[in-house]
Amino acid sequence: MLVIEPQVHRDPRGFFAETYHAARYAAAGIEGDLRGRTTTRARWRDTLRGLHAQLERPQAKLLRVLRGAIYDVVVDVRRGSPTFKRWISVELSEENFRRSTFRSALAHGFCVRSDFAEVEYKCSDVYQAGDELGLAWNDPEVGVAWPIAEPILSDKDRHGQALAAKLLPRLPSTCRRL
């Protein structure tokens, strides 16, 4: 995961910030062919979405928080990777203007740290139903240190699978950049 801190110009009227610049991002090694855009809104604090990844058509993502604040998490689910099963997190908010970006073939999730949150994703490929990996948010083998004990979950996220159980055979087996 890379964290991007854009230059924000503030004055009494508000602010101005460039939210995407393809040439600068490409020069920094960030995958640039972003084909899809998604916005999600969580209505309640402690809502947790994830951990998800696409298997056959993995997605690199660039995230920003439009409203509120989130605890953003990425987990390396690439078998054979030197960082396999390791995770990283960052706090993203409308106030700090940070963005996170990560390569494809990584599982992603977040939990809401404000009363509600609205998050925008730019993705390198479009979402494909049926191609999704659903890793259990609380898988002890991964051990993400979420800042909440009892998240609000969707049925899909409540039934995420442990990495060692049924998911391991489905994971990408190399560290190649997808």
pTM of the predicted model over 0.85: no
CA distance 115 to 44: 6
Q: Which of the following is catalytic: 20, 21, 25, 52? A: 52
Q: Is 108 a catalytic residue?
A: no
Question: Two tokens at 173?
Answer: 């087996």
Q: What span, in angstroms and rounded, lies between the C-alpha atoms of 58 and 101?
A: 14
The percent of residues above 90 in pLDDT, for the chain, comes to: 44
pLDDT in tens, 79-88: 888 999 999 9
Start-to-end CA span in the chain (Å): 15
Q: Which amino acid is at 96?
A: N
| Catalytic residue status for 21 | no
